[in-house]
Structure 1
C-alpha cells in the first residue's frame, strides 16, 4: 500500500506500481461497489502521502418481533487504500448531477436509471402527486425509504431522486 500511495498518480508510474502489486498477489483489484467501512485511520507514507486503513462494515436489519433493529458489525477484514480511493457518502452525493434515462414510462409509473448509478421509480397517486423510491445509492442508513412524496413534476421527482435526495 505504501508503494502505491507514494507512486506519482500522473503518467504510468502509478499504473505500473499497481500492476506489479496485483501480479505479485500483494494487491487486489478495485471493489466494484462502494463498501461501508469503520475504524478509519489516516496514515502517512515515508514520502508523506496520505492513505487510509479501515475495517469493512457489514450492516443489516433484524426483525425478530416485527420491530426493525439495525445492526453494524465489523467483519474483521482490515484493508488499506490510497487517499484518492476513499470518500464519504456526503462527497459522493454532492457530486451527483441527477441526470437519468427513462427505461419504462406509463401513465402512472415511471422507472429511470441514474447515469451516476442507482435506480429511481416514481408512481402517481390519485391526486396527481408523484411518490418516489430510490435504489442502489450510497446510503447513510442501511435501508431505503419507500414512497417519498415527490410533488407534481415527474422529471423533477426523478432528478431529485438521482441526486440522492432520499438518502441525505
Structure 2
C-alpha cells in the first residue's frame, strides 16, 4: 500500500473518530522469544506516523529493535463496530525527557481534570527520559460495517448473491 492510500483511509471520518477518540490502540509485536504479544497502549499521530512513548527498559523496546514489524487495531465495542487496522515498521529512539505528545495523548482517556493533573504529575515524577516508538504505517484498513466489511465476509456475500 502506498502512503497516499494510507492517508486516504486515515482521513475518513470514522478513522479520525477512532484516532482521536478515547479507545487505546492494541499494539501487536513479536517478543524476543518469537511469541506474539498484544498490549493496550496510548498513542498520538504526527503526520502519517503513529507515536508511542514507553519506559526505556520496557520489553517491547528490545523486541522492536530485533523485529520492527508491528500491527495495531483501534476499535469500538458498539454495534456495528468501527475498526481501524494498521500495520507498520517501528523505530525506537531514546527521547530526552517526556515527549509532549505522550502528555497530550493521556488527556484522551481522562476526562476528569483532577485525575489528569495527578497523572501528569506522576509521569513527570517517574520518568527522566522515555523511548519514543515511531511507527511508519505500511498498510491500513477501516472496517465500519456500513460501507466496508472484512474481505472474507464480502466474498461470502458475493458468493451467496450469485448462487
TM-score above 0.5, yes or no: no
Question: Which band: TM-score by shorter chain?
Answer: under 0.3
**Structure with more relative contact order (C-alpha pairs < 8 Å, separation 6 or more):** 2
TM-score, length basis structure 2: 0.20
More helix by share: 2
Q: Bigger radius of gyration, 1 or 2?
A: 1
Q: What TM-score, normalized by structure 1, do the two folds share?
A: 0.20
